[in-house]
Amino acid sequence: MMDVTDRDAEGAAAGGKGRKRDPEAVKADILSVAESEFAANGLSGARIDDIAAKTRTSKRMIYYYFGDKNGLYRMVLEEAYRKVRLEEADLHLDDLEPVEALRRLAAFTFEHHRRSESFIRMVMIENVHNGAFLGKSPNIAAVNRPAIERVAALLERGKRAGVFRPEITPLTLHWLISALSYFNVSNRHTFGAIFGPGLWSESGQAELGAECVEMVLRYVTGPLDCSDAGCLG
Amino acid sequence: MMDVTDRDAEGAAAGGKGRKRDPEAVKADILSVAESEFAANGLSGARIDDIAAKTRTSKRMIYYYFGDKNGLYRMVLEEAYRKVRLEEADLHLDDLEPVEALRRLAAFTFEHHRRSESFIRMVMIENVHNGAFLGKSPNIAAVNRPAIERVAALLERGKRAGVFRPEITPLTLHWLISALSYFNVSNRHTFGAIFGPGLWSESGQAELGAECVEMVLRYVTGPLDCSDAGCLG
DNA sequence: CATTGTTTGTACCGGTTAGTTCATATTAAG
DNA sequence: CTTAATATGAACTAACCGGTACAAACAATG
């Protein structure tokens, strides 16, 4: 049927060397379904049979390509990190003044995490497992390195311009932005159940995002820490 | 019938030397074991047989008192919230100046969350389940209300004294303190695997805690707060 | 053609696990 | 004494679930 021609075209485009068979597409299909299932139900909560049923292929192929459930989970986790960091790479912070660039970075991260719920949930689940699978994937650390380097470069520019406090470290700043943006997604259910859903309405989120930018800017900029001996720059 | 509960409570409180039966102690034992198992392995990851084996009683009694696995999980979750909020109630913020009180609240929360890992993990797991069980326990909201009221009172005092920005809301401030203190525990495995374990060494944690206090204070206090010390640039 | 890798589908296995049943016994309260 | 609640413990089951076996193709390479 027309499926054949479709798969021909797709196969050629996907780097499959003009095959009718398209292993990469099959793997991608499995990974995509597995991500939603793992993100929704956790590692032990997700069911291989459920995943298989929602793919265009069979349970047999899952084991053929990924070995076992843990192997599939690990690939899903790696892919989630890769995807998210790739999306973040499009920021051009060098075109902006340091303060404006930081404002943009914080606002972007907040918004981006908001829209990447399944990624956040994968990280949540991985932390429930004490990062056991992330620890076995050393390449994930490399994937994330650009994130901290981007912060470091921005911070250095701001310090040289005299608008950022010199004692701030890239790691702590990245930690702060991550914590706010992550918590906003990860804990909205418990926090909302206890204190009401107001912060997660459309307007509530817009305001909270703006407040987070404010938190970050006030931490990094402003007068020197008064508990230090000298208050002059 | 109230005689029963009275004498049971008396027996448990008095050490119950003569009492062979002690239902409250049995329940508490089960809950304690269940908390570590659920916190360690998640809801679907925890095993009823494992929990039973680690209690001083039997699997049969778990079902006798808690009905089923979900019922046990729910009681563990409720107890975890109750316990943590009770521990937090000992703060006496009214004795301190607003700025000093806020400093103390932030530092305390950071440290307290650090030392309540199993509570944090229960909240993580509950969020993986979209807060489904918390939503069925309306009393938990009541347990947590004092937390936000304490923040509100402190904030009001600071605003009246002119040292806190008037546009800050209690909810956002509590959200900020929670986010930083929570993320520090919840994500240390993934964050540490990617960016190194430095932030979670003893000295790293002391420094990070101090930075968090700084973040909170800088967010809440006004930009001219340091002017009397000659810090204004 | 021979070889190797890819794909499908079904049926099955063996271990695990939440939850039950039964038989029995002790204690506390009325 | 009677009754109901509180225990104990082992055997059991019914379902579930990760993983495999088997059988049979199809496709690309050399």
Minimal Cα distance from A193: which residue of B?
B135
pLDDT at A137 over 90: no
Six token digits for residue B20: 């062979």
Which residues does residue B221 pair with via DSSP β-bridges, in sequence order? B164
pLDDT at A11 over 80: no
pLDDT at A108 over 90: yes
Whole-angstrom Cα Rg for chain B: 22
Query: Which stretch, A2-6, A148-152, B224-228, has highest mean pLDDT?
Result: A148-152
C-alpha of A68 from chain center: 25
pLDDT of amino acid A23: 74
| Stretch 132-191 of chain A: residues touching chain B, C-beta under 8 Å | 134-135, 140-141, 144, 148, 171-172, 174-176, 178-180, 182-184, 186-191
pLDDT of amino acid A24: 81
Nearest to A130 among B131, B134, B189 (CB): B189
Residue type, A137: S
The answer, for B67 touching chain A at a CB cutoff of 8 Å, is no
Average pLDDT of the residues in A89-118 = 96
CB contacts of A225 in chain B (<8 Å) are 214
B214/A215 Cβ within 8 A: no
Number of C-beta neighbours around residue B143 at 10 A: 17
pLDDT of amino acid B193: 95
Nearest to B134 among A174, A193, A231 (CB): A193
Digits of tens for pLDDT over chain B (233 positions)?
333 333 333 333 333 333 456 678 889 999 999 999 999 999 999 999 999 999 998 899 999 999 999 999 999 999 999 999 999 888 999 999 999 999 999 999 999 999 999 999 999 999 999 999 999 988 888 999 999 999 999 999 999 999 999 999 999 999 999 999 999 999 999 999 999 999 999 999 999 999 999 999 999 998 644 434 434 33
| CA–C1' gap, B218 and D14, in angstroms | 60
Minimal Cα distance from A143: which residue of B?
B194
Average pLDDT of the residues in A123-138 = 95
Lowest-pLDDT range of A48-57, A184-193, B97-106: A48-57
pLDDT of amino acid B19: 44
Of B190, B64, B78, which is closest to residue B134 (Cα–Cα)? B78
Cβ of A199 near strand D (under 7 Å)? The reply is no
Helix B138-160 and helix B170-186: axis angle, to 10°? 120
Per-residue pLDDT tens digits for A189-214 = 999 999 999 999 999 999 999 999 99
CB contacts of B117 in chain A (<8 Å) are none
Q: Tell me the nearest-neighbour CA distance from B63 into chain A, angstroms.
A: 22
The answer, for A28 touching chain B at a CB cutoff of 8 Å, is no
Rounded Cα gap, residues B223 and B164, in angstroms? 10
Rounded Cα gap, residues A113 and A185, in angstroms? 7
pLDDT of amino acid B209: 98
pLDDT of amino acid A25: 83
- Determine contact, residues A186/B191, Cβ cutoff 8 Å: no
Q: Tell me the nearest-neighbour CA distance from B23 into chain A, angstroms.
A: 30
- Tokens 């990974």 locate to A31
- Write down the pTM of the prediction: 0.88
pLDDT of amino acid A144: 92
pLDDT of amino acid B138: 84
Lowest-pLDDT range of A6-20, A22-36, A157-171: A6-20
Minimal Cα distance from B225: which residue of A?
A223
The answer, for A106 touching chain B at a CB cutoff of 8 Å, is no
pLDDT of amino acid B8: 37
pLDDT of amino acid A15: 33
- Determine contact, residues A219/A175, Cβ cutoff 8 Å: no
Cβ of A68 near strand D (under 7 Å)? The reply is yes
The answer, for A105 touching chain B at a CB cutoff of 8 Å, is no
| CA–C1' gap, B52 and D12, in angstroms | 18
Number of C-beta neighbours around residue A229 at 10 A: 4
| CA–C1' gap, B21 and C15, in angstroms | 37
Number of C-beta neighbours around residue B44 at 10 A: 17
Query: Which stretch, A50-64, A211-225, B68-82, has highest mean pLDDT?
Result: B68-82
Rounded Cα gap, residues A195 and A189, in angstroms? 10
pLDDT of amino acid B15: 35
The answer, for B42 touching chain A at a CB cutoff of 8 Å, is yes
pLDDT band with cut points at 50, 70 and 90 for residue A230: very low
The answer, for B40 touching chain A at a CB cutoff of 8 Å, is no
Mutate: best of B69, B109, B136, B175, partner A, most A CBs <10 A: B175
The answer, for A53 touching chain B at a CB cutoff of 8 Å, is no
Cβ of A47 near strand D (under 7 Å)? The reply is yes
